Chain A
Amino acid sequence: MTARGVLVFGIVDDGQLRPATAELIGAGKALADDGAGPLTVALLGAVTDAHGEAVDRAGVEEILLVSSPEPSFEAHVAEAALAALIESRRPSVVLAGHTVDSLGFAPALAARAGLGFATDVSGIGWGEDGASARRGAYAERLTAELDFPGRETVLLLLREGAFEPATAAGSAPVSRLDLDLAGAARTELVERRTPPAGDVDITTADFLLSIGRGVEDEEQVAKLEEIAAKIGATLSVSRPLVDAGWVPSDRQVGQSGRTVAPKVYLALGISGAVQHLAGISAAKTIIAVNSDPDAPIFAAAHYGAVADLFEVATELQQQLG
């Protein structure tokens, strides 16, 4: 397999570069070290020289700044920009983040341009047959090893937090690349809204008792909230309880909720989906109680118990209340 290099595609949105871009560079450097060819970083958005400096890490050979006609991320503009980059550079591997932004353009580009493609990738490799990737299967109960036979370029969306960020400073040349992106946008931005602040701030709590879909019905939520209060914990939840309208969104932990950093995170009846785990990586001690011994949360937790959440909660109330 000819090694034509690795391209990291980073997005600058409203002036901000996503912190996980350093992880993409770390992963790209590992591929380059394994023989995939030189590592290039391209940034799209309202890019400044400071953004270029921020991605100048050891192992990066070239940095390209691509100005977008839109001040904030627009999916069709991103698709056109990455299509043009791939067309002109023909890299062997393109790395981008598995983010809500990427979900709006990467699959469309992959289908249209006939790329090798995988999303939510947590492991990558480069060998004689080109790129390989690892991702979850069957709701994370298994992992799947993928390859990309016959694909000249492989686009991989990497799971945030799964790769070591590149930290050592580099000295790559930075240049601006003019791409004709005028007219590429197909959506018009009306406004952005930040979530309203709620009555409770779960982000500063030391002890979170967090409940998930395992509670099954709304009546149980009030009971568990009472137990939380008695044992000195603040109640937080996984997304389905907010979706169902049982609990206000300021209690939601995860990618689309809050990022929390308690001393103890006690998860009851939460399976441990990646978007939930994204919110608890800063928790000091994670304890998971789940009736399913194969629940993925046990891989992320420090302590686990296979048990009925109600029985454990009731006992906890007696012992800590």
Chain B
Amino acid sequence: MKVLVPVKSVAQIDGEPLLDGAAEVSPDLLEWRLNEWDEFALEAALRLVEGDGGEVVVVTVGQEEAEEGLLACLAKGADRAVRIWDPALAGADPLAVAGLLARLATEEQPDLILGGVQSSDSGNAATAVALAGLLDLPRVAVVAGIELDGDQLTVERELDGGAIEVLRLRTPALLTVQTGINEPRYATLRAIKQAKAKPLATLGPAELGTDAAAALALAGSRTVALAMPERGEGATMIDGPPSAIAGRIAEIVTAEVGS
């Protein structure tokens, strides 16, 4: 059994971005880490393969910084990693990324694809399910439990308010994994060292039978500009040392709730 796990390195802004109508944040201000949801998807994949045997392949569409995230996945037990990149892909939207992932998935022919529900930086909650659409795979989004028996999947889909829907479907399929579905493992120091010896391929669009322009033409949207959010009225800020802050909070609580 082969499980493909698309993972994203998410960006966090560290510092004050100078925007001025720009559609990008200066790369110097960005810090990268593996998307939280993808940690749970990887763990789910590792557990399925540990049970039944097989292979876990992680793939990312991302710049060089994303290799660190792939190495972390390899250290935790993924067998192989693939990084797809071309500098022209910076700013690719979920549909464009899904198009590239679909090309790789068509080569890899996995039995199951486990993505994350969403990425914590852009919160699109779109890329993995778009991939399912392109591959014409049955899919379930926001999955809180997975059982596999032969080619039959029984999954728990999370609804609002903590309700659960139990669904059956057949592999090959794609699921988007929700946080809390398992407890992601930590890699041992030894595994972190050994990860560097595992296969990590870097592919350009050409190696997937396309080019960056064609890949980007699949994009569903274009970012015209980034801006600081309008904060509305925002909160009345309480300044001062912790004792003064607590004092003001105590006053508000006493006034609102009574003592």
Q: Which of A84-92, A173-181, A257-265 contacts B (4 or more CB under 8 A)?
A: A257-265
Whether A287 contacts B130 in the complex (CB less than 8 A), given A186-B138, A304-B236, comes out as no
User: Looking at the complex, which one of A75, A112, A115, A206 makes contact with B140 (CB distance below 8 Å)?
Assistant: A75
Q: Does A34 contact B (CB under 8 A)?
A: no
Size class of the contact patch on chain B: 35 or more
Q: Is the interface of B mostly helix, strand, loop or mixed?
A: mixed
Whether B253 pairs with A264 at a CB distance below 8 angstroms is yes
Q: Point out the residues of chain A lying under 8 angstroms from B121, CB to CB.
A: 137-139
Q: How far is the CB of A229 from chain B (nearest CB, A)?
A: 14
In the complex, the chain B residue whose C-beta lies closest to that of A284 is B256
Which residues between 211 and 259 of chain B lie within 8 Å of chain A, taking CB atoms?
Answer: 218, 220-232, 234-239, 242-243, 245-250, 252-254, 256-257, 259
Whether A117 pairs with B126 at a CB distance below 8 angstroms is yes
User: Looking at the complex, which one of A111, A151, A242, A315 makes contact with B130 (CB distance below 8 Å)?
Assistant: A111
Q: Residue-by-residue, is B140-177 near A (CB-CB < 8 Å gives 1, otherwise 0)?
A: 11100000000000100111111111111100000010
Q: Point out the residues of chain B lying under 8 angstroms from A139, CB to CB.
A: 12, 120-121, 123
A243 to B230, CA, bound (A): 32
Q: Does B99 contact A (CB under 8 A)?
A: yes
Whether B221 pairs with A306 at a CB distance below 8 angstroms is no
Q: Count residues of A near B (Cβ-Cβ below 8 Å).
A: 97
Which residues between 236 and 290 of chain A lie within 8 Å of chain B, taking CB atoms?
Answer: 239-240, 242-245, 249, 252, 255-259, 263-264, 266, 274, 284-289
Q: Report the number of A-B residue pairs with Cβ-Cβ less than 8 Å.
A: 283
Whether A312 pairs with B142 at a CB distance below 8 angstroms is no
Q: Is the interface of A mostly helix, strand, loop or mixed?
A: mixed
Whether B220 pairs with A118 at a CB distance below 8 angstroms is yes
Whether A242 pairs with B180 at a CB distance below 8 angstroms is yes
Q: Point out the residues of chain B lying under 8 angstroms from A116, CB to CB.
A: 220-221
Q: How far is the CB of A238 from chain B (nearest CB, A)?
A: 11
Q: Does A182 contact B (CB under 8 A)?
A: no
Instruction: Provide a sorted-by-A list of 22 A–B residue pairs whose CB atoms are within 8 angstroms.
Output: A103-B142, A111-B130, A111-B134, A117-B126, A136-B123, A137-B223, A138-B25, A142-B25, A146-B222, A147-B224, A148-B221, A189-B165, A189-B167, A192-B159, A207-B253, A298-B237, A302-B235, A303-B235, A308-B242, A315-B243, A316-B250, A320-B250
Taking Cβ atoms with an 8 Å cutoff, the residues of B that contact A are 11-13, 17, 19, 23, 25, 93-95, 98-99, 117, 120-134, 136, 138-142, 154, 157-169, 176, 179-180, 183, 218, 220-232, 234-239, 242-243, 245-250, 252-254, 256-257, 259
Apart from A189-B167, A307-B245, what 13 extra A-B contacts exist at CB < 8 Å?
Answer: A104-B140, A107-B127, A111-B130, A145-B226, A187-B167, A192-B165, A193-B163, A206-B257, A252-B162, A257-B162, A266-B253, A299-B234, A314-B242
